[in-house]
Amino acid sequence: MRSQTFTILNPSGFHARPTKVFVQKVGTFPCKVSVSKGGKKVNGKSSLSMLTLGIQQNDEVTLEVDGEQEEQALQELGALLTHIFEE
Amino acid sequence: MSNRLTGIAASPGIAIAKAFRLNNADDYVPVADKAADTHIEVNRFRKAVDEARQELEEIRILTEQRIGAAKAEIFEAHLMLLEDPDYVDAVIEGIEEEGMNAEFKLHEIANSFIEVLSAMDNELLRERAADVKDVTGRIMSKLRGVSYAAIAAINEPCILIAEDLTPSDTAQLNLDYVLGFVTEIGSRTSHSAIMARSLEVPAIVGAGTAAGDIQTGTMVVMDASLGTVLIAPTEEEVADYQSRKLAYDQRRVELRKLLDQPTLSADGQHVELAANIGSVEDLQKVFANGAEGIGLFRTEFLYMGRSAMPSEEEQFQVYKHVLERMNPKPVVIRTLDIGGDKELPYMKLPEESNPFLGLRAIRLCLSKQEIFRTQLRALLRASAYGQLKIMFPMIAVMEELRAAKQLLEEEKGKLVQEGVPVPENIEVGIMIEVPAAALGADFLAKEVDFFSIGTNDLIQYTMAADRMNETVSYLYQPCHPAVLRLIHMVIRAAEREGKWVGMCGEMAGDVTAIPILLGMGLHEFSMSASSILPARALIKEVSRTEWAGYTQQILAMSSQEQIQQFVKQKLRSDLQ
């Protein structure tokens, strides 16, 4: 298992569209992915649960990956978390 | 007298019909029960989810055909919910582990999400709770074998009354029968309000719980242009509204006829009616209202609400898209107009004590040349895809115009060297927003291809009155003689140099101002898309030659009040 903390840059936080992009990407990895903020941890494969974290700009979010391809998942998903909105 | 309710006018129009009260399916609260056979229960649930999916697919396609791809995205989000492990799989696990009935577990799990999302302090996230309710209601109705909402069952003319309409309700409305709708909650920007405007169905939202007491079968009159609902109106009231509706509908039909016609004055002279846009999404309205071009494309939105500058490529794609869609109609794109009241937090500009008199628009672009050059390159690259005209905002002195043109030429030269095709004849113009530019229009006209008068700022600077400041709002006078004299001066100066003049401020769509501007010889009027057809109808009735004859008389008047009175009187005789 590996984990790392990232800071959200998007000024309008983590809404339907970015959540969709993120969750779809999570779905391409075989490993378990969870996302936590402020002590609350949710399944990274559920957009509904992701929304309940209410992620906003400058929030610190921890990504936890466990299983096959975890290294690659951490790298790609972390980059997505930080830069998803700069595209 | 009938009972009267007032709500928010969400989509204009008048409708008269019996009420149809929509009972929301999510009122249903299931009872906790043990399932007889968990295997059968799980299959029953899976089947309900599959049926819901099929139905949503159909609605998504229907919405895309009727309202467009952007609105259909709502249903993609709904479909995605059906794939969500913490929602659908969680219900299945609940049934298997606890042996409970499907309805109960679905209700329980959906509610846990709805509660959390509804309590969020972020409006966008709270709206997601409505999506969960909508999808849950749909699956629930499949489980119970009842039709979801009763909208599909409506088979006679009615006005729909509901607590709120879900996106899927609105998308399924059969407009042959549903003449309008009234909801208890909602705002001008809620899903149902936006959809109503796209479908052009009269709608009043946020009418309060009293609307919920309207029973099915009660006669209702709605004037959605004002936001009023009459419950059980008298015969006289019905007759009155029937004639108002007739007049309203006739006016709409008349205006529709003007959709693809050129804008000609009563004496047959052509002027151009263009639209102001702020984003790609506005293009739909441009076409729906028959604009002859885009007179102002504000590029600020590309820079706002984000954490870093947009790249050249990103800008290029947007400009190219707009130019291609509009081709061969002209598109005037204004370079970055930021500063003043429009801030970009990531630029970290020092605070100014008078931001409206400070480093904004072209002044900012000339001081941050890299940002400006990036935009100019994107514009030049996109120019091959349509009829681009480039416009610099807030020019005050010749030096600014020359510096901006110099940078444009340099970027053009670089692109040509890189082998990128750039047309030779791109028109370059400036906005006239500063009194100094209006007074100096004679020399500026020699070095531009066109002027566009930005009245919002021109009035503010001429009257030295902040247009956001309520206490001096009486000074915001578009038809004040001082403003009209400046405008007249600009048009004359351009005429002498053989250049064209447009106007892209609020004033261009103002009924009182249009005849004056027409008489002065303005060539292009650019306004919000919804004002175009009424403006075209007005111009048809006004003779340019006749109004040209009034110009000197108007310019000699001493107040806006006097000028407005004069226009009203003359117009009345024109329209008779």
Does the distance separating the beta carbons of B124 and A86 come in below 8 Å? no
* Burial class of B319 by CB neighbour count within 10 A (0 to 12, 13 to 18, 19+): buried
Tell me if A54 and B125 make a contact (CB, 8 A cut-off): yes
pLDDT score of B26 more than 60:
no
Asked if pLDDT for residue B396 goes beyond 50, the answer is yes
Contact A54 B132 (CB under 8 A): no
In this prediction, residue B27 has a pLDDT band, given cuts at 50, 70 and 90, of low
Q: Is the confidence at residue B1, as pLDDT, over 60?
A: no
If one counts every other C-beta atom within 10 angstroms of the C-beta of residue B260, the result is 7
Task: Over range B378-389, report the average pLDDT.
Answer: 97
| B67 pLDDT more than 80 | no
Residues 6+ apart with CB under 8 A from B87: A46, A48, B81, B109, B110, B113, B132
Mean pLDDT across A35-53 = 92
Tell me what the mean pLDDT of segment B456-464 comes to: 95
Model pLDDT, residue B127: 78
- Integer Cα distance of B310 and B375 in angstroms: 9
- ipTM over the 0.85 cut-off: yes
Residues in chain B within 8 Å Cβ distance of A86: 306-308
What is the model's pLDDT at position B308? Answer: 84
Q: At what angle do helices B369-382 and B312-326 cross, to 10 degrees?
A: 40
Q: What is the pLDDT of residue B273?
A: 97
Lowest model confidence (mean pLDDT) among B94-108, B316-330, B349-363: B349-363
Cα A83 to chain center, whole Å?
A: 11
Q: Is B119 on the interface with A (CB under 8 A)?
A: no
A15 carries an active-site annotation: yes
Chain center to CA of B219: 33
Taking the CA of residue A36 as centre, how many other CA atoms within 13 Å lie in the half-sphere pointing to its CB? 11
Nearest to A11 among B120, B125, B306 (CB): B306
Within an 8 Å CB–CB cutoff, is residue B81 touching chain A? yes
What's the pLDDT tens digit per position in B485-498?
Answer: 999 999 999 999 99
Please state the rounded mean pLDDT for residues A23-44: 92
Residue B178, pLDDT > 90, answer yes
Separation in Å, CA of A22 to nearest CA in chain B: 13
Query: Is residue B313 within 8 angstroms of chain A, CB to CB?
Result: no
Q: Which of A20, A48, A85 sits opposite B307 (nearest CB)?
A: A85
Report DSSP state, residue B171: H
B519 pLDDT above the threshold of 90? yes
What's the average model confidence in pLDDT over B78-104?
Answer: 93
Q: Express as a percent the part of chain B with pLDDT over 70.
A: 97
pTM confidence score: 0.66
Mean pLDDT of B146-175: 80
Beta bridge partners of B17: B220
Q: Which 8-state DSSP code applies to residue B188?
A: T
Q: What is the mean pLDDT of residues B426-440?
A: 98
How many angstroms separate the CA atoms of B83 and B311, rounded?
Answer: 35
The pLDDT value recorded for residue A74 is 92
Do A9 and A82 form a contact (C-beta atoms < 8 A)?
yes
pLDDT of B25: 54
What DSSP state is assigned to residue B34? B
- pLDDT band, very low/low/confident/very high, at A85 (cuts 50, 70, 90): very low
Mutation to test the B interface, candidates A8, A10, A46, most B Cβ within 10 Å: A46
Within 8 A of A11 by CB-CB distance, chain B residues are 305-307, 345
CA-nearest of B62, B109, B51 to B85 is B109
Least confident stretch, B1-5, B142-146, B535-539: B1-5
Note the pLDDT of residue B573: 76
How high is the pLDDT of residue B152? 64
Instruction: Report CB contact under 8 Å: B87, A11.
Output: no
DSSP B219-250: EEEEETTTTEEEES--HHHHHHHHHHHHHHHH
Report in angstroms the alpha-carbon separations of B331 from B308, B320, B322, B386, B523: 26, 11, 8, 8, 15
Q: Under 8 Å CB-to-CB from A28, ≥6 apart: which residues?
A: none
Quick one: DSSP state of residue B86?
I
Say how far apart CA B462 and CA B419 lie, in whole Å: 46
Band of residue B576 on the pLDDT scale cut at 50, 70, 90: low
Neighbouring residues of B179: CB distance < 8 A, sequence distance ≥ 6: B15, B16, B17, B157, B158, B159, B201, B202
Q: Is the peptide bond before B262 cis (omega within 30 degrees of 0)?
A: no
**Mean pLDDT, chain B, as a whole number?**
91
